[in-house]
Structure 1
Amino acid sequence: MRCTLLVLVFLLAAGCSGTAEDAPSSENAPIVEGPPPGNPPMGGPVEVAPGLPLDELLDSRVDGATLQARLNAPRRMETEPVANRHVAGQVDTLRTYVYDGIRLQFYTITGGGALLQEVTVTGEGYTTAEGLGVGSTRDEIEATYPHSLGAEGSTITYERDDEEPTPTVLRVTYDGDRASSLTWLLYVD
């Protein structure tokens, strides 16, 4: 046993005593650029978007279930049971599709059907036909939604008279004079 231990110590010492000159040279090693084959390059996170322009999302003429079927997969889906106000004992579902910079909330009726209830934009890159989006000035928003329904802190709720094709109620949160969040409220009863 002692002899085996002595041989192991000797071999260990011999292996550790090599110099850098004994090591293989890396001068002739191939230069590898990028990741090894089969591995994707590292980069920033992939943006997750609904796949439809904001104007199409806000078009009240589009059926909610049809709209849901056309959406890309969200980054995250949140669900919440909701008691149906018109059918005693029926529980429907509030489904929130969360994408980068935009959130869509649907009221899904048990037994079929879905209604788009709310669209919230918090990221740049989503604008309406009128050019409204995150970064719009208060004057630009009030030119399209002229009637203020009230304010709470830095959030103002607006209404406009025409109904088609976009929602008539808009809630805007401002950072200074610029919109940092826009929420369109669609009528769902």
Structure 2
Amino acid sequence: MKKWLPIAIIVVLVIVVWQVTAGFNNTAVTKEENAKLAWSNVESSYQRRNDLIGNLVKTVEGAADFERGTLKEVIEARSKATSVNVDAENLSAAQIEQFQQAQQGVTSALSRLLVTVERYPELKANQNFLQLQSQLEGTENRINVARDRYNAAVTDFNTYIRTFPNTLFAGLFGFDKMERFQADAGAENAPDVEFDF
């Protein structure tokens, strides 16, 4: 009977270690996939904005005397933003930065477009334009919510893999800290608002 005791202890230890590591791995995979899904939702929200911008540009183009340079900037920024591809499987700070810069270009061009529209009362009264403008405002809110949810999912994942004893297993199973979505540089400063009367 004493001969079997060391073997039984080893078998029990192997089962316990297997359960602990499998439990860690499965939970980490789930949390990582949730963070990747949240990133996909960020991209989806930005895609919705880009789709709406196309319709907005077509509506604005209908105003024959509208400033073409402003429209061109919006179209070019939208094109650049849609050409930036981010691989959710290999999400890095550099990829997020590149994506964010392209989206910031769209935001800036769109802001200039909406300010320029103020000079065109017939366009401001256009029902299609008003509806698209309202949808864009709602989409901007969705983008913010999606970014917040992404950051929450990344925080959950990062906290899980960085707490003891999980940190011991994270490297063993190839889990690395994920990057959060950061605010644009200078976002902490209030924007200058100028009115031309």
TM-score interval for Structure 1 and Structure 2 normalised by the shorter chain = under 0.3
Q: From the two aligned structures, give the one with the greater helix fraction.
A: 2
**TM-score normalized by the length of structure 2:** 0.19
Between structure 1 and structure 2, the one with the greater Rg is 1
